[in-house]
Amino acid sequence: MIREDLVAERIAIESYSEIIRYLGDNDPTSRRVMEEILAKEEQHAEELKSLMETLSHLEKQSGGNRSENDIQRPVKRAS
């Protein structure tokens, strides 16, 4: 799920980048709006990438018994 979300973010990044290239210097106001949205999408992608790296690290620590879904369902620990 996280991997698919990251792919979607990267598609959005490419789409906004293409719009920015299309606008060029012809519409600076629209271009600025698109650049702001692009920056947010890049931040989302970076957060998802970081989350995937954290999950991968946790998976290695636990011997591969955790999955992406575990980030929403923390492992219960004996008290």
Residue (5 or 68) nearer to Fe ion, CB = 5
Direct distance between the N- and C-terminal alpha carbons of the chain, in angstroms, rounded to an integer: 31
Q: Establish if 44 lies at the interface with Fe ion (CB under 5 A).
A: yes
Provide the H-helix boundaries in the chain: 2-23, 28-61
Residue (33 or 58) nearer to Fe ion, CB = 33
Minimum separation from the CB atom of position 45 to Fe ion (A): 7
Contact criterion met (CB below 8 Å) for 23 and 32: no
Minimum separation from the CB atom of position 68 to Fe ion (A): 18
Of 67, 46, 49, residue with least CA distance to 58: 67
**Total of chain residues touching Fe ion, rule CB under 5 A:** 2
Contact residues for Fe ion (CB under 5 A)? 41, 44
